[in-house]
Amino acid sequence: MKPLWTRHELEIATKGRFLGESTLDVFGVSIDTRTLRAGDLFIALKGYNSNGHAYVTTALERGAHAVMVHDVSCYPPDPRILRVTDTMAGLQALGHAARARFHGKTIAITGSVGKTTTKEMIRLCLSAYAPTHAAEASYNNHWGVPLTLARLPRDSAFCVSEIGMNHPNEILPLAHMVRPDVALITTIGTAHLGHMGSLEAIAQEKASLFLALSKKGIAIVPEESHGLPFMVQATQQVGAILWQTGTHSKSQIRYKLLKHDSHGTQFEIFFAGEVFPVHLASPGLHLVHDAVNALAACAACTDFRKSFPKAIMALASFYPSEGRGAISTIAQGRIMLLDESYNASSTSIRAALSVLRLCPAHRRLAVLGDIGELGSFAATEHHALADPISTAADLVFCCGPSMKTLFDALPQTHQGAWAKTSAELTPLLINQIKTGDSILVKGSLSSHMRVIVQALKTLSQEDII
């Protein structure tokens, strides 16, 4: 097994120094001792709520081959300790070094909704051709992006990075670190509207991803995206090529929807003068857009255009993960659960409701938590969901102060219950569940909707009416 980093490479990349002489290699990079593997480099990051320096001894006891610190006062000299000026800067330097030595293709994804789902689709597609490395979970911020790069194996052919934001001027520095050959924007929506101030500001920030593309790099956006002029301007500035995806004949990558129901989606992709039939096990029209983005990213790897069906075959095995659209049955098959509990925005709630509408059920229940980071727009954004929720759900349960605005706007016949927190809402929901219900659970991470999902998964058939 080839090392991920040698001792010499670590010192050169970070401009740090080990506290003694030794011969060591590391085979992974960790910032959390709970998931650390023997042979890893442990980076002691200092955050708002924790300090990795407190876990250095634990990391070494669990088999870390090296640890990166910027405070050595608490430790005896150990040749496994790499001292740097600042561990966050050290991680970022390692990310830059990993990108500099990588000669494969890089793909970067941003967007208000669908980043992680699209990333996983791309991982599947590209893995059909060659070793592919991609970000874990939603590692898309100032530490997640360099960590993804620092973990990039030497023999990978593709690297897929997810890039997020919630304030102005956050995307471009991360994009420059990734230096993508292909860059995608999944959607422009109201997520983080409270920090950004307008949809135009969000679109402009997302479009800055394209400023990191090389000349002739590929930028991919949904047709008629909000703020499309910003995207056109960014690609023109660097000489990149802009592709649009959608249903219009002018789009470079088009799809035609054939069928979608609770069992999956069938559609056709039109690309480079050819037609490709596609089947996704994932239900819901909104996932078609994510699939088109994923296929577009694969198609942008020009070396593989002739074997494009290979990517499509791989995509057929995609299924949403827990918290991101996974559908399961609970209570011995008596209830259908649509788990969208990881996060939420106005756009993603509307998309999830389109899936709920497709689910076979005697009743459809929507269980919703607050959408975060909307600031002064919170009341308006939540209230605007009343009509689409009323048409998709028979009964609605809400938690959080902002969702109270929505709950009060619903017809009384649709009001299930409201509570301040997800924990308080859980028993109110469970008391009203009936056999044959389909239940959507969705809310921002801060709403802790996972609490409700976990409670629902423990139900037995005796617990429901």
Picking from 425, 455, 439, 445, the residue whose alpha carbon sits closest to that of residue 338 is: 439
**Residue 119's Cα: distance from chain center in Å?**
7
Q: Are residues 119 and 178 in the same domain?
A: yes
Q: Which domain holds residue 456?
A: 326-463
pLDDT of residue 388: 93
**Residue whose structure tokens are 């401009």:** 15
The mean pLDDT value for 413-421 works out to 97
The verdict on 352 and 384 lying in the same domain is yes
Q: Same domain, yes or no, for 66 and 128?
A: no
**pLDDT digit string (tens) for 355-398?**
899 888 999 999 999 999 899 999 999 999 999 999 999 999 99
320 in a structural domain: no
Q: Is residue 52 part of a domain?
A: yes
Give pLDDT, residue 38. Answer: 97
Q: In the predicted model, what is the mean pLDDT of residues 415-425?
A: 97
Residue 114, number of CB atoms within 10 A of its CB: 26
Closest CA to 255 of 226, 280, 278, 231: 278
Residues 448 and 382 in one domain: yes
Contact 407, 332 (CB under 8 A): no
Percent of the chain with pLDDT over 90: 62
Max mean pLDDT range (29-38, 223-232, 264-273, 355-364): 29-38
The helix or strand, by DSSP H or E, that contains position 244, with its residue range, turns out to be: strand 241-246
Q: What pLDDT sits at residue 429?
A: 97
Radius of gyration (C-alpha) of the chain in whole angstroms: 23
Residue 391 sits in the same domain as residue 430: yes
Co-location of 106 and 155 in the same domain: yes
Q: What is the pLDDT of residues 91-130, one digit of tens each?
A: 999 999 999 999 999 999 999 888 888 888 889 889 988 9
The DSSP output letter for 45 is -
Same domain, 291 and 256: yes
Q: Is the pLDDT of residue 427 over 60?
A: yes
Instruction: Tell me which of 290, 315, 340 is where a domain ends.
Output: 315
Task: Name the least confident of 46-55, 232-241, 287-296.
Answer: 287-296
Q: Residue 369 has what pLDDT?
A: 97
- Do 210 and 89 fall into the same domain? no
CA 183 to each of CA 48, 128, 206, 218, 383: distance values in angstroms, whole numbers, following the listed order: 31, 20, 11, 6, 34
CATH number for the domain spanning 339: value is 3.90.190.20
pLDDT at residue 285 above 80?
no
Confidence class for position 195, pLDDT limits 50, 70, 90: confident
Q: The pTM is what?
A: 0.87
The total number of structural domains that make up the chain: 3
The CATH number that applies at residue 287 is 3.40.1190.10
Which of 106-110, 254-258, 448-452 is least confident?
254-258
Cβ neighbours, 10 Å, residue 131: 13
Distance CA 253, CA 260 (A): 20
In a domain, 252, yes or no: yes
Is residue 321 included in any domain, yes or no? no
Structure tokens at 389: 């929720």
Whether the predicted pLDDT of 259 surpasses 90? no
Beta bridge partners of 398: 368, 418
**One domain, residues 185 and 163:** yes
3-state secondary structure of 371: coil
Query: Which of 315, 349, 368 delimits the end of a domain?
Result: 315
pLDDT at 304: 57
**Would you say residue 286 has pLDDT above 70?**
no
pLDDT in tens, 196-214: 789 899 999 999 999 999 9
**Pair 106, 51 in one domain:** no
Residues 383, 239 share a domain: no
- Distance, CA of 164 to CA of 447 (rounded, Å): 20
pLDDT surpassing 80 at residue 50 = yes
Supply 174's token pair. Answer: 């991360």
pLDDT of 200 reads 92
Q: Decide which of 269, 290, 315 is a domain's last residue.
A: 315
414 and 286 part of one domain: no
Question: Higher confidence at residue 252 or residue 232?
Answer: 232
Report d(CA 50, CA 21) in Å as an integer: 30
The pLDDT assigned to 247 comes to: 86
Can you give the CATH number for the domain in which 46 is found?
Answer: 3.40.1390.10
Domain presence at residue 345 = yes
